[in-house]
Amino acid sequence: MEVLSNFQYKKLFLPNITKKILANNADVQLYRLENYLKGILMPVVPYRTTFNFIIFVTNGYIKQYLEDKEYAAEKGGVIFIKQGTITATMELSDDIEGFFLAYENSILSEQELPKHRTSIFFMTPCLKLDSLTYNTITQLLFIMEQELWLNNLDVNEVLITMLHLILLKMLHTDLDGVHKSSTRLMELSLQFRDLLFKYHVDEKRVAFYADKLSVTENYLNKCVKSVTQKSPKQWINEIDINYSKALLHSSKDIAEIAYELNFHTASHFTQLFKKITGITPKNYRANFLKN
């Protein structure tokens, strides 16, 4: 599965954008959905990105595949795609309008946001904004847009501050009630997830990740289970299966996919897939093709 930079994403999926937008490599980028995604090449094969992006819908609707679910957002809706997440645009309405906001993780180390970094990572991927928050964020996006074009797309402190405000407004909208200030447990869980995206294909052992984080396996189990309600082993298994779902959209056979994900045998892969999803990889592929 491809891991795309911002430039590669634009080059692969967006044939109608201008040369100036294609060449834009700033750490914060903002575009109008109606211009930026117009003519996007679909169906989009699932991919991962090296950057984060947020889709704000002000009119029409969008459907986005994210990990193992499909999310739909219309006016007031937000879809938040974090770096490393398996995703793909599934459908856009003809009247889609809104904003596409992309940013690099390095921006989160600026100014006052680090204490919220972990909470933002665990934020719900699909939000519905109340009218006051929607109006506030929309106004901030208009100002960001003006600031970017006035500064020839260069990022300055004003833009970074507004990005932080938007992320914090989204965080406060998240209704799960579990995303609070960063703690040692949450930070360790976030570091584990970062490592998991990088190494899960080759490393299935919890001990490997514990060693990387300089903690015991028992302590890592305790932290991750406390924050996410899932054990590290569950995370390892589920990210493999979510990754395999994207591969099942391709023409690769099941044995090839099992080999690519470093399973001992195709049978072992099939058993785990069925245990987590309730169906076999073969049936999953058949359902996908039927739909």
Domain identity same for 35 and 167: yes
**18 Cβ neighbours under 8 A, 6+ residues apart:** none
Domain identity same for 24 and 165: yes
Angle CA 161–165–171, to nearest 5: 145
Mean pLDDT, residues 21-40 = 91
Domain identity same for 116 and 27: yes
Domain identity same for 202 and 162: no
Q: Using alpha carbons, list the distances in angstroms from residue 30 to 16, 33, 76, 149.
A: 16, 9, 17, 10
Are the C-beta atoms of 43 and 81 separated by less than 8 Å? no
- pLDDT, tens digit, for every residue of 66-108? 877 889 999 999 999 988 888 999 999 999 999 999 998 777 6
pTM of this structure: 0.68
Q: What beta strand segments (E) does 112-173 contain?
A: 126-128
Task: Give the pLDDT band of residue 179 (cuts 50, 70, 90).
Answer: very low
User: In this structure, is residue 178 part of a structural domain?
Assistant: no
Phi, psi of 50 (to 5 degrees): -90, 0
User: In this structure, is residue 179 part of a structural domain?
Assistant: no
Nearest-Å Rg of the Cα atoms of the chain is 20
Name the domain boundary from 116, 138, 173.
173
Domain identity same for 104 and 168: yes
Domain identity same for 223 and 99: no
Residue 271 confidence (pLDDT) above 90? yes
Domain identity same for 195 and 230: yes
Mean pLDDT, residues 222-228 = 84
Are the C-beta atoms of 58 and 75 separated by less than 8 Å? yes
Are the C-beta atoms of 33 and 98 separated by less than 8 Å? yes
What is the CATH number for 76? 2.60.120.280
User: Count of CB atoms within 10 A of residue 210's CB?
Assistant: 18
- How far apart CA 44 and CA 37 sit, in angstroms, is 12
Residue 110 confidence (pLDDT) above 70? no
Cα end-to-end span (Å), the chain: 22
Number of compact structural domains in the chain: 2
Strand 52-59 with 97-103, pairing: antiparallel
Domain that holds residue 264: 184-290
- pLDDT, tens digit, for every residue of 38-55? 888 887 888 888 899 999
Domain identity same for 136 and 23: yes
| Closest to 244 (Cα-Cα) out of 203, 273, 214 | 273
Domain identity same for 35 and 153: yes
Structure tokens at 159: 């833009």
Mean pLDDT, residues 268-275 = 93
What is the CATH number for 207? 1.10.10.60
